[in-house]
Chains A and B, each alone.
Chain A
Amino acid sequence: MIELENVSKSFTLHNQGSAVIPVMERVNLQVSAGECVGLVGASGAGKSTLMRLIYGNYLAASGRVMVGDLDVAQAEPRQIIALRRETLGYVSQFLRVVPRVAALDVVAEPLLAVGTPQNKARDKAASLLAELNIPERLWSLSPTTFSGGEQQRVNIARGFAYDYPALLLDEPTASLDAKNRATVLRLIEGAKARGAAIIGIFHDEAARDQVCDSFIDVSAFSPKVAA
């Protein structure tokens, strides 16, 4: 489902003497349907960078980034938009929302985007928020006013509202208590069971071992500095 071939990434800082900073090279990885691959490596090794390359936030310098049958590295913006709507979900570490939109609508939005009727989308959103222990009195409020942990759970609910065939999870269990952490792990296992291909970053080792089928050490992709 997700396949990276010989991907490299560098940043060129034009306003700092055009310094070119290579950050990754020769990235090869493959994730099949129903499989969860954990990215490991020290902070700064490029785990999140790799995720952003797959999601299309970052432009790959070379190589192929295949999600389904689309090469994200070469795709037109509208193809990536369609991919993100129908195929590839991403739970980032931070929730970015339009101010004033109710939490329930934030969670229902990915379903509405694929044409799910309003009442069905809201029902699904409500059951996810309940499962993640967001008190019902908060559902009609904008998540911008929520605590960090609550925002994180809204973000997770949103990521799991629609059944994406492929999912990227950046620290989904960070800052969660034991009960919510168990719920999130159950959601991940459910997604695997229905055949989703998942790439995750987990600092929580127990969580990582519970859901991941294999691991990839991202530091292997660090460019070798010519000494």
Chain B
Amino acid sequence: MGAQVKEQDMTPLLQVNALTKMYGPRIGCKDVSFDLYPGEVMGIVGESGSGKSTLLNAMAGHHAPDQGEVVFDTRVDGPVDTLKMSEPERRMLGRTDWAFVHQHARDGLRMSVSAGGNIGERLMAVGGRHYGEIRTQAADWLGRVEISDSRIDDRPSAFSGGMQQRLQIARNLVTGPRLVFMDEPTGGLDVSVQARLLDLLRSLVREMGLSAIIVTHDLAVVRLLADRLMVMKDGHVVESGLTDQVLDDPQHAYTQLLVSSVLQV
């Protein structure tokens, strides 16, 4: 049982404490707290308007929360509250150890720059300067997300939706982040493309030892990808726990409704 003792001693990669975001008098998300450990994948589910995307954006620093802490275990300084970081520090974090995969690939890509350029840009942001090396890495990553390297000079606007999404993932993961935020990564893709993307995400998570927080409304996606699950309703976390426990033996009325509403194929 040595390994379990070791895991208990581990510092959480991300500690979220009492995070609250209000839109005027309305609640975006309220009093959300959890710890995420290295290598863990956490799913956040809930219906539209439940606050799951608000929470994700507040954690990722896209909009400022009203209260709370988002403490990240940085490589150099250990745990730091990212909300108190200076803007340049947070931007640097966003380019190195953090990644954000948007629901719409267009929001996460530069549509007027070639596929290779989209990947290379992130490498250059962390100091990559050698053109040949950047191009080699870009080609390597296109291969890893199953895009032919003959498409390296094409713009993403010439790609299908599924390819754009895979390109966005390549662009985000090329710098070897430790934490990836994903907002409905498989939303809007047809099922065969979804399956391919899920398979890809799962193997990348395992090979790279990534931690991830995935917002989705698709319970099948979290069952396959997430170790842990948080269920949100009206801005509050109503239930959380091990993914299969929450789905197989939901305790809260809302989770029971959610689970029983899924259509069986």
The stretch of A7-15, A29-37, A119-127, A175-183 that contacts the partner chain: A7-15
Q: Is A159 an interface residue (CB 8 A)?
A: no
Q: Is B8 an interface residue (CB 8 A)?
A: yes
Q: A15-B260, A57-B244, A79-B8 are in contact. List 5 more A-B contacts (CB 8 A).
A: A13-B256, A59-B249, A78-B37, A101-B199, A112-B206
Q: Is B208 an interface residue (CB 8 A)?
A: no
Q: Which of B4, B202, B252 has the most CB of A within 10 A?
A: B4
Q: Is B195 an interface residue (CB 8 A)?
A: yes
Residues of B whose CB lies within 8 Å of any CB of A are 1, 3-4, 7-8, 37, 40, 195-196, 198-199, 202, 206, 223-224, 227-228, 241-242, 244-245, 248-249, 251-253, 256-257, 260
Interface pair B4/A77, CB less than 8 Å apart: no
From A55, which residue of chain B is reached at the shortest CB distance? B244
Q: Is A220 an interface residue (CB 8 A)?
A: no
Report A8-60 residues with CB < 8 Å from chain B CB.
11-15, 52, 56-59
The one of A11, A15, A77 that contacts B242, using a Cβ cutoff of 8 Å: A77
Interface pair A58/B8, CB less than 8 Å apart: no
11 A–B contacts, CB within 8 A, in A order: A14-B252, A56-B244, A68-B1, A77-B227, A78-B37, A79-B8, A81-B40, A81-B242, A98-B202, A100-B196, A100-B199
Interface pair B257/A15, CB less than 8 Å apart: yes
Q: How far is the CA of A96 from the CA of B223 in the complex (A)?
A: 10
Interface pair B249/A83, CB less than 8 Å apart: no
Interface pair B199/A77, CB less than 8 Å apart: no
Interface pair B199/A83, CB less than 8 Å apart: no
Q: Considering the complex of A and B, which 4 residue pairs feature the smallest CB-CB distances, nearest first?
A: A14-B253, A99-B195, A77-B242, A58-B249
Q: Inside 8 A of B224's CB, which chain A residues have their CB?
A: 98
Q: Inside 8 A of B249's CB, which chain A residues have their CB?
A: 11, 52, 57-59
The one of B37, B195, B241, B260 that contacts A100, using a Cβ cutoff of 8 Å: B195
Interface pair B199/A99, CB less than 8 Å apart: yes
Q: Is A205 an interface residue (CB 8 A)?
A: no
Interface pair A78/B251, CB less than 8 Å apart: no
Interface pair A58/B248, CB less than 8 Å apart: yes
Q: Inside 8 A of A70's CB, which chain B residues have their CB?
A: 1, 4
Report A93-115 residues with CB < 8 Å from chain B CB.
96, 98-101, 112-113
Distance in Å from the Cβ of B26 to the closest Cβ of chain A? 26
Interface pair A78/B7, CB less than 8 Å apart: yes
Q: Inside 8 A of B251's CB, which chain A residues have their CB?
A: 12, 59
Query: Interface code A54-81, partner B: CB below 8 Å = 1, 0 otherwise?
Result: 0011110000000011100000011111
Q: How far is the CA of A120 from the CA of B217 in the complex (A)?
A: 38
Q: How far is the CA of A39 from the CA of B146 in the complex (A)?
A: 47
Q: Inside 8 A of B7's CB, which chain A residues have their CB?
A: 78-79, 82
From B192, which residue of chain A is reached at the shortest CB distance? A99
Interface pair B227/A78, CB less than 8 Å apart: yes
Q: Is A86 an interface residue (CB 8 A)?
A: yes
Q: Inside 8 A of B37's CB, which chain A residues have their CB?
A: 78
Q: Inside 8 A of A59's CB, which chain B residues have their CB?
A: 241, 245, 249, 251
From A100, which residue of chain B is reached at the shortest CB distance? B199
Distance in Å from the Cβ of A153 to the closest Cβ of chain B? 22
> Given the interface contacts A81-B242, A99-B195, A112-B206, does A86 sit within 8 Å of B4 by beta carbon?
yes
Q: Inside 8 A of B248's CB, which chain A residues have their CB?
A: 52, 57-58
Distance in Å from the Cβ of B243 to the closest Cβ of chain A? 8
Q: Which of B8, B223, B242 has the most CB of A within 10 A?
A: B242
